[in-house]
Chain A
Amino acid sequence: MATNQWWASESFWRKTAIWVTGGSLIVLILLTVDTLPQIAAGSKRVPAYSTINFRIEYKYDDSRHAQVPVIGMKEPLFGKELSEQDAEALVKLGKLTTQSKNCMNCHTLLGNGAYYAPDLTKSWLDPNWGTKELREDQMVEFIKNPSDKLHNSMGRRMPKLGVTDEEARGVVAFLKWMSSIDTNGFPYNFKPIEQED
């Protein structure tokens, strides 16, 4: 058997490996350069933090065959309109709280994390919070003192994590802002809290 064929030579495959790897990496970098501005806060897909001043809904879009977030009329969180800067500070507090309380090892955010508790991507829009009037206060109260609240029929409960009032408000702001991100229709078939038609 001839062993000096080009397809059986080390140098051919070494060069192939180098070119394929380098090429793939360059394409990934170019795509990253294209993607990052499209997901910057304030872009079309990832709205500005001050979106928490507005009503957010999740509606079916016929052309995309998926639900998309729709930003509506003014509806400030906790009844107080915030500047872009203050809104970012509040969402930042919330995001930092979700990280330092290790939320992601029970919940999923944008579908990533652990599977012991519900996905938080659209939790701001969840009908579980009752009515839109009660929602904000219910969420803050739940995050601060979850132990004795009704969760489900199975006895699985969120633990009390020492979240302060301000941190809980931050978390709610973060969750409201996250629900405005265009996630290409994930989660599918979500049934949101009461919406305008």
Chain B
Amino acid sequence: MAATIGKLDSANLNGGQKLAVKYFITAMVLFGAQVLFGLISGLQYLKPDLFYEVLDFNVNRMVHINAMIVWLLYGFLGSVYWILEDEAQHEVVGLKLGNLIFWVLTAAVAVVVLVFLFVQVGPGKESSIWLINEGREYIEAPRWADIGIVVSVLTFFYNVAATFSKGRYTGIGGVLLLDLLALFGIYLAGMFYTTNISIDQYWWWWVIHLWVEATWEVMVACTMAYALMKVLGVRRKIVEIWLYIEVALMFGSGILGIGHHYFWIGTPEYWFTIGGFFSALEPIPLVAMVVHAIFDAGANKIKNSNHPTMAWLIAHAFGNFFGAGVWGFMHTLPQINLYTHGTQWSASHGHFAFFGAYATINIAYFYIAMQQWRGKVWMAGDQIGNGWKWKWSIGLLNLGMVGMVMAMLVSGYVQSQIERAIEGSTWAGYFAAQAHPWFVQGMWWREIFGVMFAVGFVLLVWDLMTVGKHETRSMVEAKSAE
């Protein structure tokens, strides 16, 4: 079924991949929304009257972080559908249902965003939590949407489980399936109301932490393993052994690493030791992943079939290590966290980690998808125009992100010093830090690098739409250098 090289043709995709690209396109739209609302929120630090009482900081910031959660999840769901038929050697079971659920879920996301933007807040009743906004950071989606999400992911889980069962279970497939079960199961821990804020935050961290520092990491370890096989031609046995090692290290450190969120929310003091110890171990699997990726790339002499994807996979390995590992460890020990908890340090770490660990690998998959969609087109070296668009966009996105991260870290130092250590976190202490010229300077640099990031994003969209368009050469499949 070799279609014309370079032409966008859905005949080039298998059933799961056709569904995957829908998830990918929606993910990119939401990524754009994340960038836009991030820029507005950042600007409000500098110009507080901007959109005051029209589109306040809390609304913009909520859309900023929720768009992120949803686009990253869409990227993951898409990536799983992308690899599913190839991994299981069987077509996706229940694909029609999967398609229907995609539209239902996307419609629900659209309604939630519109309500966030135009209704914004409700009265202090449980009905507000059910219909408008749950008011808990990252999982603000109202309860009706939670239920919709649960139904959607159950369907998704059925698609994946049934496909592997009817086809074959690989190591990647087995890990993926168990990880999905955990990922979706944990979401239930965030679906109840309680007046006791200590209990509230205890379970809230089960969702947030056990997602981003455990199940999401294993999810991208799976997609990374598949990508290394496809792009570099690494042998399955090698990636699967590494995957098991990473799962052991990731869950071994990450599950009890949740303790670093239990220092200050009312929970007993023994969490200091547990949280400090296990979160100190959390960077280890991330080092292992860097070693794995770089070793495999070196062993294959970096000869690969898709240069933009390979570049983003390398960005993922380093971004995950620095953003999640180093930046997380920097302020995770309770003796330091006492001063940094809830300051711009957290924002610096959050930006670096989510981008480094998750945005990068999703973008890598977008390039894998475009290559296939255009009929397995050539995307290695000597691309048309020397591949300037992908090179500039990866440069601007990474430099923009690192610039934002550094700027927020400077502000974070000022804040933890002045507000926390000296002034003791009072109202006056908070604003003494926020008004300090060093802090303000950090916020300006954050916005400037944010604009750089946005330019990189626009270039990324343009490149994804055009990469391989006028190419006449076919992709050369990556071969293992055994």
Contact = CB atoms under 8 A, between A and B. Distances in A.
Contacts of B49: 155
A95 B431 contact: no
A132 to B, nearest CB: 15
Nearest to B265: A110
A76 B179 CA distance: 50
A114 B64 CA distance: 12
B69 to A, nearest CB: 13
Contacts of A45: 198, 266-268
A17 B251 contact: yes
Contact of B421 (A40, A103, A189): A189
B244 A17 contact: yes
Contacts of B430: 117-119
Given A20-B251, A88-B195, A147-B53, A187 B133 contact: no
Interface stretch (B23-31, B145-153, B157-165, B343-351): B343-351
Contacts of B175: 17
B420 A189 contact: yes
B425 A103 contact: no
Interface string A91-125: 11111111111111110111111111111011100
Given A20-B248, A102-B58, A128 B268 contact: no
Nearest to A155: B48
Contacts of B256: 24, 27-28
A77 interface: no
A6 to B, nearest CB: 12
B56 interface: yes
B199 A40 contact: yes
B264 interface: yes
B60 to A, nearest CB: 9
Interface in B423-482: 423-431, 434-435
Nearest to B247: A17
B15 interface: no
B62 A93 contact: no
Given A38-B268, A105-B58, A119-B430, A184 B136 contact: no
A116 B48 CA distance: 10
B458 to A, nearest CB: 27
A187 B424 contact: yes
Interface string A170-193: 100000001001111111111100
Contacts of A155: 48-49
Contacts of A27: 255-256
Assign chain A's interface to a size class: 35 or more
A114 B135 contact: no
Interface string B244-281: 11011001100110100011111111011010000000
Interface stretch (B6-14, B78-86, B115-123, B294-302): B115-123
Contact of B338 (A20, A32, A188): A188
Contact of A104 (B135, B244, B262, B264): B135
Contacts of B41: 116
B201 interface: yes
B241 A13 contact: yes
Contacts of B240: 10
A81 interface: no
A126 B424 CA distance: 10
Contacts of A102: 58-59, 62, 120-121, 133, 135, 140
Interface stretch (B124-132, B315-323, B377-385): B124-132
A164 B124 CA distance: 9
Given A21-B248, A128-B427, A154-B48, A100 B199 contact: no
Interface string A150-161: 011111110111
Interface string B315-348: 0000000000000000000000011011110110
Interface in B161-213: 171, 175, 193, 195-199, 201-202, 204
Given A21-B247, A100-B128, A106-B57, A35 B267 contact: yes
Interface string A19-53: 01100110110011011101111000110010000
A72 interface: no
A2 to B, nearest CB: 14
Nearest to B415: A115
Contacts of B338: 185-186, 188
A80 interface: no
B251 A100 contact: no
Most buried by B among A104, A153, A178: A104
Most buried by B among A41, A100, A162, A170: A100
A57 interface: no
A96 B126 CA distance: 7
B394 to A, nearest CB: 29
A176 to B, nearest CB: 13
A167 interface: yes
B345 to A, nearest CB: 9
B413 interface: no
A91 B193 CA distance: 13
A31 B420 CA distance: 30
Interface of B: 41, 44-45, 48-49, 52-53, 56-59, 61-62, 120-126, 128-129, 132-137, 140, 171, 175, 193, 195-199, 201-202, 204, 237, 240-241, 244-245, 247-248, 251-252, 255-256, 258, 262-269, 271-272, 274, 338-339, 341-344, 346-347, 415, 420-431, 434-435
Interface of A: 8-10, 13-14, 16-17, 20-21, 24-25, 27-28, 31-32, 34-36, 38-41, 45-46, 49, 88, 91-106, 108-119, 121-123, 126-128, 147, 151-157, 159-164, 167, 170, 178, 181-191
Top 3 A-B pairs, shortest CB-CB distance: A99-B135, A97-B124, A100-B128
Given A39-B266, A184-B264, 17 more contacts: A9-B241, A10-B241, A25-B251, A45-B267, A88-B195, A100-B129, A103-B58, A104-B135, A104-B136, A115-B346, A121-B425, A154-B435, A159-B53, A162-B123, A184-B263, A188-B420, A189-B422
